[in-house]
Amino acid sequence: MKLLLISNSTNPGEGYLEYPKDRIKEFLGDKANNAIFIPYAAVTFSFDEYEERVNARFAEIGHHVTGIHRFINPVEAIENADAIVVGGGNTWQLVKMLQEKGLMKVIRKKVKKGTPYIGWSAGSNIACPTLRTTNDMPIVEPLKFKTLKLVPFQINPHYLDDHPANHGGETREVRIREFIEVNRDIYVVGLRESTMLLVEDDGMELIGPRKARIFKYGQEPMELSNEDDFSFLLQRK
């Protein structure tokens, strides 16, 4: 498999997909002439607008995507894709639409056979076994929580260490600890902004200047950098 799982699309003061664009270019190489973009996580703007926004950045790195919403047969579009790109937004809506259109299994099968997969935010979250570590409000109800299970661990995109002043609610770490309390055999990767995970075959590495925070029941959270080996997270039981 080839996966590029990106925490976020935009850093403060930067343009859309500015910081990961060179990694995306390197990841896709020059063989992704038919890259299919899945914009289903968009809520407050149209799929056409989303496709246009992504293509404005991809044009700078010599690539182009076509939104899956333009195809009469979306399953066939995935089957013929050279690469699959899944944008961020609301994970619940993304999952619901993928399920309703029968695309979960065909994407999984296609990626398992080697088709490159790029996702950011919600697009990274659905590469996991379920959507249960998303940060989004459940604005719609999917058929089930299961997602692509391209990796055996969970990702929490946009992971934050901060506890805002005058806020008495749970931190992100507290919520993840609740998850691992009832899902004791599953690792959760807190993927901080400006970082991404690159998966190639049986290896995985962190890309970016910040560390990832790794959670597992019964263990103290680990802070791993881009110099550490992340491959242990790919081991399936």
State the catalytic residues: 121, 136, 158
Q: What is the CA radius of gyration of the chain?
A: 17
* Vertex 181: Cα angle to 180 and 186 (nearest 5): 30
In sequence order, the 6+-apart residues with CB closer than 8 A to the CB of 71 are 77
Alpha helices in 6-165 (DSSP H): 21-28, 47-58, 74-79, 91-100, 104-112, 122-125
Residue type, 76: E
C-alpha 197/C-alpha 67 separation (Å) is: 24
Report how far apart, in Å, the C-alpha atoms of 34 and of each of 21, 49, 174 are.
18, 19, 42
| Structure token pair of residue 179 | 């998850």
C-alpha 214/C-alpha 195 separation (Å) is: 14
| Structure token pair of residue 106 | 């065909």
